[in-house]
Amino acid sequence: MNTEYSEKLFVEKITTDMASKDETFKAEYMRLATLETYLRGRLHGQDFAIRDACEIFKRGELFDFPDDVRPKGSMIFMGPSGVGKTELVKLAAGYLFNDDPDLCRPISFDMVNYNHDDAVGIFLGDKNFPGQLGEALKTHKKGILLFDEFEKAHPQIMIQFMNILDEGRIKCNNGELFQLHNYYIILTSNLGAAEFKESAGAKYTIIRQTAFQVIAAHTKPELAERINKIVVFLDLTMEAKVSVCRDMIKKVLMQYAKKGIFLKAHENVISEFLQKGADNERGMRLMRNVIDALIGNVVSDICIAKQTQSFHGILYAEGGTVRISLLPENDPVFQAPEIFIQASSSCMPLLNSL
């Protein structure tokens, strides 16, 4: 067979294989194309962080280089508490691995729990046990490894982060070696929160440079150099906080609807929840508990007073208190699909007994 003909057959085979592969992965391309939109619709006020994270996720999902032993992608999520760092990891895991119930949640470790000498053995094991990390890697052959507040880990564990990021593997104390090529590695940290506040209004690229300097100053500079991307989460604007609060209220009211308790919410409850649930130090971290408690308390009171677990009403705030005004099932307000309403005071008679 002459060289020209052989090369022609080779090119034809490659072209056919690529066409077949493109067809196979067409659905995957479409899924990755909508990843950023999906995340933006569920995490408010962090468009820059979402864009940066999606760059890593897209590359990791599309390209698998056999000679590259490093993880599929590695990131440090930096920013103040309660602004969505862990939430973004959870959302991404649910989207990327939604076909596997074991992988649709990140494999999470709170490194605050691994900052003392005894914790090293718990995390990395001993001669008879691979440790909590090794056990997790045995159970999950791929996915997202999340190390929350990584800078608080014991120094011996910090050294292991270097091996994970550089060599894509970790050796537990019982001698077992785990390859991490099929995992995303995400470290979160509250370091730099004060510096980011001082840089408020600066370009995102400048803030990210500040983040790199902070990580290099508080850990080994080599760690920051081995990370694919440092992703900065900014303080939430009031507009973002309102959006987060609205989403949380909707989720709670939808849960009650499944139980036969149908509620609309007056817009004024949002400011009430923000006042009680938003915190300068902890961001929106407490908001869900506040919403659950304030709505749950008044719903419980009505259920007990009326001896029923099925009713219709409007949730509203008055005098620093969250209340519910009961309405008949056929009230026009329940014909509209919207959860939030701008009700007049006449539709919210006080429930004197509650």
**Tally of domains within the chain:** 2
120 backbone φψ class: left, alpha, beta (φ>0; ψ -120 to 50)? alpha
Strand 107-110, strand 143-148: pairing: parallel
Which one-letter DSSP state was computed for residue 333?
Answer: G
Tell me what pLDDT residue 13 has: 54
Q: Which of 80, 15, 92 is nearest to 50 (CA)?
A: 92
Q: Are 207 and 196 in contact (CB under 8 A)?
A: yes
What are the tens digits of pLDDT across the range 167-219? 889 989 899 999 999 999 999 998 887 777 766 667 888 888 888 889 888 88
Token pair recorded at residue 264: 């609309």
The pLDDT tens digits of the residues spanning 106-152 come to 999 999 999 999 999 999 999 889 999 999 999 998 999 999 999 99
User: Do 121 and 260 share a structural domain?
Assistant: no
Phi, psi at 261, each rounded to 5°: -110, 110
- If one counts every other C-beta atom within 10 angstroms of the C-beta of residue 191, the result is 21
Instruction: Report the pLDDT value the prediction gives residue 16, as an integer from 0 to 100.
Output: 62
Average pLDDT rounded to a whole number, residues 59-76:
87
- pLDDT beyond 80 at 19: no
DSSP 65: -
| Residue 110 domain flag | yes
259 and 134 in a common domain: no
Instruction: Say which residues have a Cβ less than 8 Å from residue 232's Cβ, sequence separation at least 6.
Output: 48, 49, 78, 79, 192, 196, 204, 207, 208, 211
- Looking at per-residue pLDDT, the higher value among 65 and 52 belongs to 52
Exposed, middle or buried: residue 25 (CB in 10 Å: 0-12, 13-18, 19+)? Answer: middle
- pLDDT for 184: 96
Mean pLDDT of 43-50: 94
pLDDT of residue 354: 37
> How large is the greatest C-alpha to C-alpha distance in the chain, in angstroms?
96
Find the domain containing 136 and state its range. 34-232
Q: What is the mean pLDDT of residues 219-235?
A: 89
Q: Which residue has the higher pLDDT, 45 or 100?
A: 45
Residue 114: DSSP 8-state: G
Continuous H helices in the chain:
3-24, 26-33, 35-40, 47-62, 85-96, 117-124, 131-139, 155-167, 193-198, 204-218, 221-226, 238-257, 268-277, 287-306
Comparison of pLDDT for 280 and 259, the residue scoring more? 259
Please report the pLDDT score of residue 277 as a whole number. 84
Q: How many CB atoms neighbour CB 322 within 10 A?
A: 22
Tell me the sheet residues that pair with 265.
315, 340
> Which residue has better confidence, 288 or 18?
288
Query: Do residues 173 and 60 share a domain?
Result: yes
Tokens of 335: 């014909």
Confidence band of 350 (pLDDT split at 50, 70, 90): very low
Q: What secondary structure does DSSP assign to 67-116, as a single string?
A: T--S-SEEEEEES-TTSSHHHHHHHHHHHHTTT-TTTSS-EEEEGGGG-S
Residue 278 has pLDDT above 90, yes or no: no
Q: Are strands 311-318 and 183-189 parallel, antiparallel or unpaired?
A: unpaired
230 near 215, Cβ under 8 Å?
yes
Same domain (yes/no): 148, 297: no
CB 188 within 8 A of CB 149: yes
CATH code, 202: 3.40.50.300
Residue 294 has pLDDT above 90, yes or no: yes
Residue 244 pLDDT grade (very low, low, confident, very high; cuts 50, 70, 90): very high
Q: What is the CATH number of the domain that holds 250?
A: 1.10.8.60
Whether 180 contacts 170, CB under 8 Å:
yes
User: Which of 2-16, 60-74, 100-114, 243-257 is predicted with the least confidence, judged by mean pLDDT?
Assistant: 2-16
Q: In the prediction, which pLDDT does 18 show? A: 57
What is the Rg, in whole angstroms, of the alpha carbon atoms belonging to the chain? 25
On whether both 186 and 332 belong to a single domain, the answer is no
312 and 167 within one domain: no
Q: If DSSP codes are grouped into helix, strand and coil, which group holds residue 22? A: helix
Confidence band for 351, pLDDT divided at 50, 70 and 90: very low
The lowest-confidence range among 1-5, 35-39, 246-250 is: 1-5
What mean pLDDT is reported for the chain? 86
Instruction: Work out the average pLDDT over 265-273.
Output: 92
End-to-end, the C-alpha distance of the chain in Å comes to 92
pLDDT of the residue at 114: 94
Share of the chain above pLDDT 70, in %: 88
- pLDDT at residue number 349: 46
127 and 219 share one domain: yes
Q: What does pTM read for this prediction?
A: 0.83
Residue 173 placed within a domain: yes
pLDDT of residue 290: 92
